[in-house]
Amino acid sequence: MRLRRLFLIIVAVASISFITSCGKKGDPTLKTFEKPMPVKEIRAVHREDELIISWSYPAAEREKIKGFYIEKAIGNGQEAKGYKNIAFLKNDISQFVDKDFVIKKEYLYKIRVYSLRDVISDNSPIIKAMPKELPKPPAKLSYRVTNDSLEIAWNGTDDSVKYNIYRSYEKGKYAASPLNNILLKEPFFKDRIEKEKPVYYTVRALLDTELKDEGYQSEELEVNPESFVPSNPSNLKYVPSEKRVYLMWDENPEIWVKGYRIYRKKAAETEFRLIGESITPAFTDNEPLSSKTFYYITALGPKRESVLSDIAEVHPLPKR
Residues 198, 282 within the same domain: no
End residue of a domain, out of 76, 104, 129? 129
Residue 19 pLDDT greater than 50, yes or no: no
Asked if residue 200 is part of any domain, the answer here is yes
Of the candidate ranges 19-28, 151-160, 300-309, the one whose mean pLDDT is the lowest: 19-28
Residues 112, 149 within the same domain: no
Q: Which of 186, 62, 49, 171 lies closest to 115 in space, CA to CA?
A: 62
Residues 49, 124 within the same domain: yes
Asked if residue 280 is part of any domain, the answer here is yes
Residues 143, 117 within the same domain: no
Beta pairing partners, 55? 42
Residues 68, 100 within the same domain: yes
Residue 26 pLDDT greater than 90, yes or no: no
End residue of a domain, out of 183, 207, 227? 227
Residues 222, 153 within the same domain: yes
Reported as a single tens digit per residue, the pLDDT across 89-134 is: 999 999 999 999 999 999 999 999 999 999 999 999 999 999 999 9
Q: What is the mean pLDDT of the chain?
A: 90
Asked if residue 291 is part of any domain, the answer here is yes
Structural domain span for residue 289? 237-314
Secondary structure (DSSP) of 128-194? EE-PPPPPPPPEEEEEEE-SS-EEEEEE---TTEEEEEEEESSTT---SS-S-SS-BSSSEEEEPPP
pTM of the full structure: 0.75
Residue 320 pLDDT greater than 80, yes or no: no
Residues 123, 145 within the same domain: no
Asked if residue 193 is part of any domain, the answer here is yes
Q: Using 50, 70 and 90 to split pLDDT, how confident is the model at 78?
A: low
End residue of a domain, out of 227, 257, 280? 227
Residues 218, 300 within the same domain: no
Residue 72 pLDDT greater than 60, yes or no: yes
Q: Which of 33, 180, 60, 207 lies closest to 120 in space, CA to CA?
A: 33
Asked if residue 84 is part of any domain, the answer here is yes
Residues 268, 217 within the same domain: no
- 88: domain CATH number is 2.60.40.10
Cβ distance 213 to 132 under 8 Å? yes
Residues 125, 159 within the same domain: no
Count the domains in the chain. Answer: 3
Asked if residue 106 is part of any domain, the answer here is yes
Q: According to the model, what pLDDT value does residue 317 have?
A: 87
Residues 216, 255 within the same domain: no
Residues 102, 50 within the same domain: yes
